[in-house]
Amino acid sequence: MTERKKPRSLSAPWMLLSLLTVVLWGGWGLQSKIIVDRISPWANQVLFSIGLAPLVLWMALSKNLRRTAGSKRKGIIYGLLTGVLGGTGNVALYLSLAGGGKASVVIPFVGLAPLVTVVLALILLGESLNRLQIVGVILALVSIYLLSL
């Protein structure tokens, strides 16, 4: 007899953290548009990085970091590369908003970045999508087209 999977719960810890991420990043997207009207995208990235300092300090003092620090050189390189890609992406976003892009279009469009992850996971990690997930990808692309009209 096969075991049935439990239905996904909206109260699962990962789901609550995901919803928190959506809310925080949604606020960040709005704030990004507001700030580019007041300072340059370059200054915004510098201030963004400085704003991370308290979080970096908190993480640096975390027992979890001390337990895993220096455990794998490759992981450290990937972590730094993630920061470079994310920071460069932030600057591109701020330049897009400063160049006249509407936050209501730019932020959702940029929110399609996971589609790049999906494509790379298919190619590099050999992952696959089911039919429903393929429909989701298509609908995401259609939604951006409709938002840009």
**Where a domain ends, among 86, 101, 116?**
101
Residue 104: the pLDDT is: 84
81: in domain: yes
14: in domain: no
129: in domain: yes
34: in domain: no
Buried b (16+ CB within 10 A) or exposed e, 98-136: beebebeebbebbbeeeeeebeeeeeeeeeeeeeeeeee
Residue 28: the pLDDT is: 87
Residue 66: the pLDDT is: 61
Same domain? 114 vs 86: no
Same domain? 132 vs 143: yes
Residue 95: the pLDDT is: 93
Q: What is the pLDDT of residues 74-114, one digit of tens each?
A: 777 888 898 899 889 989 999 999 999 888 888 888 888 88
Same domain? 96 vs 49: yes
140: in domain: yes
Same domain? 47 vs 91: yes
16: in domain: no
Which residues in the chain come in under a pLDDT of 50? none
Residue 4: the pLDDT is: 54
**Mean model confidence pLDDT for the chain:** 84
Per the structure, the complete domain to which residue 143 belongs is given by: 102-149
121: in domain: yes
pTM (predicted TM-score): 0.71
Same domain? 83 vs 126: no
Same domain? 45 vs 94: yes
Same domain? 96 vs 108: no
- Separation between Cα atoms, residue 105 and residue 84, nearest integer Å: 25
21: in domain: no
How many domains does the structure of the chain reveal? 2
